[in-house]
Structure 1
Amino acid sequence: MAVDSDKQTSLHCLYYWAKQTPDRVYLSQPYPDGRVEDITWRHAADQVSRMAGYLNGLELPPRSNIAILGRNSAHWILADLAIWSAGHVSVPLYPTLNGDTAAYVLEHSEAKLLFLGKMDGTADGWNDIRGHLPAELPIVSLPMSPLDDTPAWSDIVASGTAAEPKLPAPDDLATIVYTSGSTGRPKGVMHSFRTMISVADGLQQLFPVDQNERMLSYLPLAHVAERAAVETQSLYYGFHLYFANSLDTFQEDLQRARPTLFFSVPRLWMKFYMAINSKLPPARQKLLFNIPLVSGLVKRKVLKQLGLDHCRAALTGAAPLSAEIIGWYRNLGLELLEVYGMSENFGYSHANRPGQTKVGTVGFCNPGVEHRLGEGGEIEVRSPGQMLGYFRNEEKTREDVTADGFLKTGDMGEIDNDGCLRITGRVKDLFKTSKGKYVVPVPIENRFNHPKAEVVCVAGANQPQPCLMVLLSEEARAELESGADRTELEQELQAQLAAVNEGCEPHEKLAFVVVVAEPWTMENGMLTPTMKIKRNVIENFYTEKMNDWFSRKRPVVWEF
């Protein structure tokens, strides 16, 4: 099935729905004061056209790169569309960047203007970024911007004149997405309108989606996962998109949206799981789930508490989620599907499909995608969503894309007899012990499942054996800080350690578990914006402590 000619780019989609269903609500934006603004398709198209008129009046060079910085909001998406409508290229920045990296992206991308959106310095990096913004860079403030001395979106659209949109060709450059960067400086991944829309074209061949869907946008729109799964899909299919106000109101926002489709990352799926376990302990769940007449009622109640009782399908991606946790959600009746993709192919690579799920794999190739295993078992993928290349870095483009057009993903994997792909780790994550044996961390990490372990990291380069560092959940840390006895938890962690080691080769067996004191966050650089661990940062942070931990010769080591 080909892309609808009336919706061949995301910008075409905006004006298509503004014509077809002008008074239908597209975007619902909550504000800190409790207001919720509903923006119809007609209103969205009008604001975009007026802002495009303003941009045209600035007489920027044709095809200028224009940056967007801010947490998710309705106007983040409208700014993206306005940039395209004026014939320019959008460059999203993660709101959690530090100032130095933000300055690098703005300089490297040659940004000619910045749309500054929802930022407050509490859940983002504004306090650091504000001092690194180039003095000569023009800024337009979106609603909830921290600046009040720049031209404001609301004033511009209130008094501006709508411009005829400059509808792009599918192969025009649409956006430059800077990778979240688990190592080194972020790279600018160039995507055309065609590569972006490929995810919607592929989805319609796998799963029925229509204008009656609802989604909640809360993962960073600067990342291709949210851009592909939420922004592009909502524009292509014309469905209602809701936004989260803050972490404190997340459950309220989720209940307002009652999403029919939901996308999240493993760390948040784990948080949901632990929240339910704190209210309904696993032992009681097991009992209730086995009572025929009660089981269905309890499961529906759990999904309703999560705000996912209307959800037809949910996706998890960006990092591995253990088969045990996926199975738990599926047992509740939630069609949780693991998917796989990268910034370099706009997230369009592999997916488990409804009714064809193989837990523990990322599923089959999406329509139009090819895969193979290269040297050392590295996964290579050729996708309709594949990037045009890295901005201002032809050498890296040649390094990462084979002569016959396959992307070297940097991930290692296995392809089973059914064609399902299993991710076994990152090529660069391998490390050697002092015995000269290689350890692959990810499969070991995936087997360590404790309801109070929020995230884990296997380390131990140049040590006799690997070890595993555990960051406890906020609730578990709070309990311990308030004086709770940790004896039972230590025994449980020790039992989990033994269970994991049973499935390990001798050189992979974990010497001990360390319960770390320092939280791993985006702000301290230990997590990427999509909540993947930055393994090299974590390893470097704890390197000097390793010898002391090994000298203790205990199965569970506490940092506090």
Structure 2
Amino acid sequence: MNTFQTPLEAFSHWLQKDSDYIFLRQPINRKFIEYTRQIAYDQALCIAGALHSMGLKQGDHVALLSKNCAHWFMADLAIMLGGFISVPLYPTLDKESINEILIHSESKAVIVGKLDNYEAQKPGIPNIPKIGVALYGIQETYTWEDIVKTPTDFQPFEQNPEDLITIMYTSGTTGNPKGVMHRVKSFNQVASTGVEILEIKNQSKMFSYLPLSHIAERIGIEMVCFYTGSTASFPESLETFAEDLGSVKPNTFFAVPRIWQKFQEGVLNKIPQKKLDRLLGIPIINGIVKKKIVGKLGLTEASFCASGAAPLALSLQEWYKKLGIEIKQCYGMTEDCILSHFNLPRTNKFGTVGKPVPGVVSKLSPEGEILIKSDCLMVGYYKSPDQTKAMFTEDGFLKTGDLGEFDHDGFLSIVGRIKDQFKTDKGKYVTPSPIELELTKNTDLEHICLVGTGISQPIVLIIPSEAGWAKGREVLSKSILESVDALNPKLKKHEKIEKAVVMKEHWTVDNGLMTPSMKIRRNRIEAIHQPMYLDWFSREERVVYES
């Protein structure tokens, strides 16, 4: 394995090894535009030089507002080559959130790439230099394509492992986003460790679609491409996602639980579970069926499949295992630079998030909170010393906010989040996550939120899946009650679910009820719906439909 000290050193190694190797593949109008390592480097260097000519200095903050695309990678490379500190923004943020982060982070310029509705977001950008990518229809003061036409004599910055590399604003499942500061050496250590323990081969095929402004995709795809000389391809749109994934056939595939659920729904829409079970039970046929399904998912060449960001149901892991896809759950957060717990190729225990990876020490607090220590913990929250201090124990462990349990083999399971716990009127705490996870076994349910503040027993708020809605109210209600009635006997008396409420409005990133990494924003859901709990609870019917 190659040993590097910085991401720029890693990229430089592969550039020198084969400058014409395809680094990035961007689909436009159903054709891939390909960028070699040399082209990507030359364009990034021109952008770095242009930012300096605009008056920016080494150490200044440069924001990056874009969906995943080839220019995200090149822009990040440019920011590094220029000696700047990157501030990635989620591409779905509204103008108010964009303004808040750009002002708080003191960003001196912004690079604007692929977006769905830039005109609505643009008013949030203060009066700073803006570089827009014309390929994606972004018209700005400075145009990427114009800048890169002329070769530059700018001398690239040499990264120092101790320097800050980025300020990453968390997606804010609880409260306002906070700017997490990380050093160059942390990115280096996490990428190097990940490549080694996950056995990722050099010059692999990667598919980048989860937000690059999230630490998992940034390290797991972008940095891994830097460190292994791999090729990154991108989807053109949500509509073409399946087709693009199928054409790329990545060697490594990362997803959040919602994606794995959606894939399962797609399969079961074509082959009902009973028929699938029957086909998989026939010795000669089962291999053909598995190969066809995995081929349709685009995962025939994926030697490593992983899930993170939220707990994955054990039943879903077992379902995929029958198809020959073994999903490894991983656990990490922005604040620990995702150097935490992984299931590995030869040590994968379903229902857990694995063991501590090399370089990590973990333990539980007396309350059961997972505590992490490594050399890759955040420097702190930008301009928030009090919030930073509150995140660490006296002996330097990071407080994750997650409740966990270790089994006798040292594998960690996530039980829930401390802040998600609630008390019913009976005065006893309920931890919703394990109960919600059990209910996800029902493919008629897409999103689930267990609540109970101000009432005597918990109720569950439900967003049905497309398959669930298609069954009609009567069949859907029966399906929900079957799941609740099967689960309740396993729960403690104060945890038993009294009612299910089917919500009329979808929970999405756009309406602020889901994070960009597809986790429910429990505090916002509660703030909107809590006034209705008592009314829903007092209804006669056990499945209530929101009016």
Which residue in the other structure is 2:148 paired with?
A: 157
Show structure 1 runs of 5+ residues with no match: none
Q: Which amino acid in 1 is paired with 2:68? A: N
Task: Work out whether 1:437 is the aligned partner of 2:434.
Answer: no
> Residue deviations 1:434-478, cap 9 Å, x none?
01111000010010021121111101112110011111123543x
User: 87-96 vs 211-220, which deviates more?
Assistant: 211-220
Q: Which amino acid in 1 is paired with 2:99? A: A
1:215 and 1:411 map into 2 onto residues whose CA distance is 30
Cα offset, 1:422, TM superposition? 0.7
1:133 and 1:201 map into 2 onto residues whose CA distance is 35
Which residue in the other structure is 2:501 paired with?
A: 514
Question: Aligned residues, how many?
Answer: 546
Cα offset, 1:282, TM superposition? 0.9
Task: Work out whether 1:47 is the aligned partner of 2:46.
Answer: no
Residue 454 of structure 2 contacts residue 534 of structure 2 at CA under 8 Å; is this kept in 1?
A: no
1:146 and 1:461 map into 2 onto residues whose CA distance is 47
Give the direction of change, closer, same or farther, for the CA distance of 1:543–1:45 in structure 2 (3 Å limit).
same
Residue 62 of structure 2 contacts residue 108 of structure 2 at CA under 8 Å; is this kept in 1?
A: yes
Cα offset, 1:327, TM superposition? 1.2
Residue 277 of structure 1 contacts residue 451 of structure 1 at CA under 8 Å; is this kept in 2?
A: no
Which residue in the other structure is 1:323 paired with?
A: 314
Which residue in the other structure is 1:488 paired with?
A: 475
Which residue in the other structure is 1:271 paired with?
A: 262
Task: Work out whether 1:404 is the aligned partner of 2:395.
Answer: yes
Q: Which amino acid in 1 is paired with 2:265? A: M
2:247 and 2:166 map into 1 onto residues whose CA distance is 31
1:350 and 1:192 map into 2 onto residues whose CA distance is 20
Cα offset, 1:349, TM superposition? 0.6
Which residue in the other structure is 2:59 paired with?
A: 63
> Residue deviations 1:479-515, cap 9 Å, x none?
3xxxx54322221211111111121101000002111
Q: Which amino acid in 2 is paired with 1:47? A: Q
2:225 and 2:153 map into 1 onto residues whose CA distance is 23
Task: Work out whether 1:474 is the aligned partner of 2:470.
Answer: no
Residue 15 of structure 1 contacts residue 45 of structure 1 at CA under 8 Å; is this kept in 2?
A: no
SS of residue in 2 equivalent to 1:26: strand
1:211 and 1:232 map into 2 onto residues whose CA distance is 13
Cα offset, 1:162, TM superposition? 4.3
Residue 472 of structure 1 contacts residue 515 of structure 1 at CA under 8 Å; is this kept in 2?
A: yes
Which residue in the other structure is 1:261 paired with?
A: 252
Q: Which amino acid in 1 is paired with 2:386? A: E
1:459 and 1:143 map into 2 onto residues whose CA distance is 46
Which residue in the other structure is 1:219 paired with?
A: 210
Which residue in the other structure is 1:502 paired with?
A: 489
Show structure 2 runs of 5+ residues with no match: none
SS of residue in 1 equivalent to 2:47: helix
Cα offset, 1:304, TM superposition? 0.7
> Residue deviations 1:124-151, cap 9 Å, x none?
xx354222221x1110012444532421
Which residue in the other structure is 1:184 paired with?
A: 175
Which residue in the other structure is 1:306 paired with?
A: 297
Give the direction of change, closer, same or farther, for the CA distance of 1:552–1:293 in structure 2 (3 Å limit).
same
Q: Which amino acid in 1 is paired with 2:355? A: F
Mapping of 1:44-123 within 5 angstroms?
A: 44-121=40-117
Mapping of 1:221-300 within 5 angstroms?
A: 221-300=212-291
Which residue in the other structure is 1:549 paired with?
A: 536
Q: Which amino acid in 2 is paired with 1:275? A: G
The structure 1 segments of at least 4 consecutive aligned residues displaced by more than 6 Å after TM superposition are none
Q: Which amino acid in 2 is paired with 1:15? A: S
1:163 and 1:337 map into 2 onto residues whose CA distance is 43
Match of 1:21 among 3, 9, 18: 18
Q: What is the root-mean-square deviation in Å for CA atoms of aligned residues? A: 1.5
1:312 and 1:142 map into 2 onto residues whose CA distance is 34
Residue 51 of structure 1 contacts residue 162 of structure 1 at CA under 8 Å; is this kept in 2?
A: no
2:245 and 2:153 map into 1 onto residues whose CA distance is 34
Task: Work out whether 1:203 is the aligned partner of 2:198.
Answer: no
1:307 and 1:458 map into 2 onto residues whose CA distance is 34
2:265 and 2:133 map into 1 onto residues whose CA distance is 36
2:270 and 2:374 map into 1 onto residues whose CA distance is 43
Residue 343 of structure 2 contacts residue 355 of structure 2 at CA under 8 Å; is this kept in 1?
A: yes
Residue 200 of structure 1 contacts residue 233 of structure 1 at CA under 8 Å; is this kept in 2?
A: yes
TM-score by length of 1: 0.95
TM-score by length of 2: 0.97
Residue 51 of structure 1 contacts residue 160 of structure 1 at CA under 8 Å; is this kept in 2?
A: no
> Residue deviations 1:99-147, cap 9 Å, x none?
21111100000000000111122xxxx354222221x111001244453
1:207 and 1:527 map into 2 onto residues whose CA distance is 29
Residue 317 of structure 2 contacts residue 326 of structure 2 at CA under 8 Å; is this kept in 1?
A: no
Give the direction of change, closer, same or farther, for the CA distance of 1:114–1:30 in structure 2 (3 Å limit).
same
Give the direction of change, closer, same or farther, for the CA distance of 1:268–1:44 in structure 2 (3 Å limit).
same
Residue 468 of structure 2 contacts residue 476 of structure 2 at CA under 8 Å; is this kept in 1?
A: no
